[in-house]
């Protein structure tokens, strides 16, 4: 890593550079980027083995691993026994959702849902403001849908942040991720914070289950596919969960005492290798993003692959290439705002198949006021987007492959995935699936499926499972 930044420093254009040297420097700079973003099979395997090592360590002692391996207290149960009316909340990214589900013998009969955009003041204000916003949104949902109940209905709460659970309905936030900084939540009992806000507004709901979005996604799929082994989120943040034998969770006697039962473990893989960066393919831009994030030193893996950071990585590369004369100078002087390049535009540029890359030209001109008249530059811009996405997809596939190896599931298994990065980024799925095979082997025969809105539905299903005796 150090070597790459040294090369990049050395490549700064000098006044006396000949035309030939300039062109050579440009090519070397691009090649340096490519060699960090396009990972060999060997490199992917090395990372995967280290991830498996960290999984083992995290199951026995969290303080000795960059993977927390958090028990969800969701045990494998037969979903066909679940019936009734359940509610679900989904908090974790840019939006917040409220859902009502009718389940009969493990089948979702019908549902209703509403989506609310989380205002900045709730993401960065106080606990009362955040939970007040959540409870007000539930009330609005019930008013809009004309829902009235005489008794309390069970509610599942998907809370997609690292949470130390002590039971299915008890847990506290370890640390915020993905740009949230709300005060007064860390270390507090989340179920109580939510229940209090609900009770204060006279809403007849009882919080019976708390879960991570990865767990919600896995369980949502499990109701229709009993071979579901992993739940994965590749969106604003990134993470996965999988079924582990309870007896292997040696750090927690309450869990390990359940022996051969299977429990869903929330890996919190976004933090993988954050402490020492032993294996991650870091670019200088990653360090810059980390330094300016609200949680420097943490979630370094997530910062390389997720939607929340993708636009910023691309912007920083554009600016660097522009300063070094590889891309037009107007980029460095215009794209100056931190986090000022939308991750969705990275996908749009990547999907530009118009001859001359005129969609790329229009996006940059109309939205960012950057005019790129030369077609070759527009191709280069597209290539930068591809490199960043390539690394993200390979790293995601590596993490899924490592988890499959640890779970001992290389065939007849389903990986349920949700999140905008997976769903909407061109080329992503193909590169990711190739990386899974690089890690697991060509015989790998698992199905990766999109589990749309899994985190929301899953909370309702988990609430239902929690009521089974």
Q: What is residue 247's three-state secondary structure? A: helix
In the complex, minimum distance from the CB of residue 75 to ligand GLC, in angstroms, rounded to a whole number: 19
Give the active site residue among 68, 97, 300, 357: 97
Tell me if residue 97 is catalytic: yes
List the structure tokens of 165: 């659970």
In the complex with ligand GLC, the residue whose CB is nearer, 31 or 95, is 95
Residues 6+ apart with CB under 8 A from 404: 229, 230, 410, 413, 415, 436, 440, 444, 446
List the structure tokens of 329: 């100078």
In the complex with ligand GLC, the residue whose CB is nearer, 270 or 454, is 270
In the complex with ligand GLC, the residue whose CB is nearer, 58 or 162, is 162
Tell me if residue 160 is catalytic: yes
In the complex, minimum distance from the CB of residue 165 to ligand GLC, in angstroms, rounded to a whole number: 12
User: Which region, left, alpha or beta, applies to residue 78 given φ > 0 means left and ψ of -120 to 50 means alpha?
Assistant: beta
In the complex with ligand GLC, the residue whose CB is nearer, 95 or 104, is 95
In the complex, minimum distance from the CB of residue 211 to ligand GLC, in angstroms, rounded to a whole number: 10
In the complex with ligand GLC, the residue whose CB is nearer, 7 or 344, is 344
Tell me if residue 213 is catalytic: yes
Query: How many CA atoms within 13 Å lie on the side-chain side of 252?
Result: 21
In the complex, minimum distance from the CB of residue 299 to ligand GLC, in angstroms, rounded to a whole number: 6
In the complex, minimum distance from the CB of residue 285 to ligand GLC, in angstroms, rounded to a whole number: 20
Place of tokens 């034998």: 245
Residues 6+ apart with CB under 8 A from 303: 286, 289, 290, 293, 309
Applying CB under 6 A, the residues found at the interface with ligand GLC are 92, 160-162, 177-178, 212-214, 233, 237-239, 268, 270, 302
Tally of residues, the chain? 469
Q: What is residue 402's three-state secondary structure? A: helix
Pairing of strands 445-450, 411-418: parallel
Give the active site residue among 65, 137, 160, 347: 160
Strand order in the sheet with 107-117: 107-117, 95-104, 84-91, 153-159, 205-211
Give the active site residue among 213, 290, 342, 377: 213
> Residue 292 CB: number of other CB atoms within 10 A?
11
Query: What is the Rg, in whole angstroms, of the alpha carbon atoms belonging to the chain?
Result: 23
Cα–Cα nearest to 351, from 389, 301, 325: 389
In the complex, minimum distance from the CB of residue 306 to ligand GLC, in angstroms, rounded to a whole number: 7
In the complex with ligand GLC, the residue whose CB is nearer, 25 or 68, is 68
**Which residues participate in catalysis according to the annotation?**
97, 160, 213
């Amino acid at each position: 890593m150090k070597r790459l930044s040294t090369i990049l420093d050395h490549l700064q254009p000098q006044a006396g550079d000949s035309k030939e040297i300039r062109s050579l420097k440009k090519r070397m700079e691009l090649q340096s980027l490519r060699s960090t973003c396009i990972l060999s099979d060997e490199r992917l395997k090395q990372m995967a083995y280290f991830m498996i090592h960290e999984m083992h360590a995290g199951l026995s002692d969290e303080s000795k691993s960059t993977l927390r391996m958090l028990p969800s207290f969701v045990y494998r149960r037969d979903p066909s026994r679940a019936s009734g009316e359940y509610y679900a909340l989904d908090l974790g990214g840019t939006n917040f959702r409220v859902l009502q589900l009718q389940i009969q013998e493990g089948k979702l009969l019908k549902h209703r849902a509403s989506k609310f955009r989380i205002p900045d003041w709730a993401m960065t204000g106080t606990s009362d403001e955040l939970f007040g916003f959540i409870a007000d949104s539930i009330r609005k949902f019930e008013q809009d849908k004309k829902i009235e109940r005489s008794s309390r209905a069970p509610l599942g709460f998907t809370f997609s942040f690292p949470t130390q659970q002590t039971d299915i309905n008890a847990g506290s936030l370890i640390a915020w991720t993905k740009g949230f900084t709300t005060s007064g939540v860390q270390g507090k009992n989340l179920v109580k914070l939510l229940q209090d806000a609900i009770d204060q507004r006279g809403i007849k709901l009882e919080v019976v289950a708390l879960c991570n979005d990865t767990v919600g996604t896995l369980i949502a799929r499990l109701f229709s596919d009993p071979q579901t082994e992993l739940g994965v989120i590749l969106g604003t943040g990134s993470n996965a969960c999988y079924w582990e034998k309870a007896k292997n969770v040696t750090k927690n006697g309450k869990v390990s005492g359940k022996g051969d039962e299977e429990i869903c473990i929330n890996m919190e893989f976004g933090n993988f290798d954050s402490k020492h960066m032993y294996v991650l393919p870091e670019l200088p831009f990653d360090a810059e993003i980390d330094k300016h994030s609200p949680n420097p030193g943490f979630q370094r893996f997530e910062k390389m692959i997720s939607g929340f950071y993708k636009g910023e990585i691309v912007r920083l590369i554009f600016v660097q290439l522009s300063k070094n004369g590889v891309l037009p100078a107007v980029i460095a002087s215009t794209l100056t705002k931190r986090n000022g390049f939308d991750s969705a535009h990275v996908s749009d540029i990547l999907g530009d198949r118009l001859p001359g890359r005129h969609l790329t030209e229009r996006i940059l001109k109309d939205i960012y006021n950057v005019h790129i008249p030369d077609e070759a530059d527009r191709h280069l811009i597209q290539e930068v987007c591809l490199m960043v996405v390539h690394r993200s997809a390979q790293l995601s596939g590596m993490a899924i492959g490592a988890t499959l190896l640890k779970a001992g599931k290389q065939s007849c298994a389903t990986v349920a995935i949700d999140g905008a990065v997976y769903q909407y980024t061109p080329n992503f799925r193909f590169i990711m699936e190739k990386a899974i095979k690089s890690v697991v082997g060509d015989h790998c025969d698992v199905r990766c499926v999109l589990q749309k809105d899994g985190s929301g539905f899953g909370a309702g299903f988990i609430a239902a499972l929690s009521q089974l005796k």
